[in-house]
Amino acid sequence: MLRDRRVLIVEDEALVTMLIEDGLSEAGAEVVGSAGTVFEALQIIERVAQDGGLDAAVLDINLVGELVTPVADQLAALGVPFVFATGYGTGCDTGGHAAAPVLHKPFATEQLVAAVEAIVSFTPDGAGAFQGD
């Protein structure tokens, strides 16, 4: 189900980023970029808007002490579904995005893939949420 789906990873831990990227790539997704800060993530979203769009994102909630909320807000405004992947426990602050699924670290690759498959399957046309201009 993730074949050719374009996914952004926003995570500040390099090892976790690599594990997420490997799992999604093995499931057929195209990882369009990874960011360790809010600023980097917003830049990638802007670039991807010009280069084929974005189908989904995996967001860590806390990026070196900065909340990922501006990224989640931008993705929501563009209609791009996302899943939070966090070390925080249940009831964590999702910045007003309570409907977004939350994966609690540590999680298995199968759980990650299933969560991303679930959010991309709900896009209106089934072909991806944000296709850019």
Q: What is the CATH number of the domain that holds 70?
A: 3.40.50.2300
Residue 127 maps to a domain: no
pLDDT tens digits, the chain, 133 residues: what are they?
A: 899 899 999 999 999 999 999 999 999 999 999 999 999 999 999 999 888 899 999 999 999 999 999 999 999 999 999 999 988 767 677 888 989 999 999 999 999 999 999 999 865 444 444 444 3
Q: Do residues 6 and 128 make contact, with C-beta atoms less than 8 angstroms apart?
A: yes
- In this prediction, residue 129 carries a pLDDT of 45
Residue 72 maps to a domain: yes
Listing DSSP states for 69-111 in one string gives HHHHHHHHHHT--EEEEESS-TT---TT-TTS-EEESS--HHH
Tell me how far apart the 2 most distant CA atoms of the chain are, in Å.
38
Strands 56-59 and 6-10: parallel
Name the helix (H) or strand (E) containing 67: strand 66-67
Domain that holds residue 71: 6-108
- In this prediction, residue 110 carries a pLDDT of 95
| Number of structural domains in the chain | 1
Residue 34 maps to a domain: yes
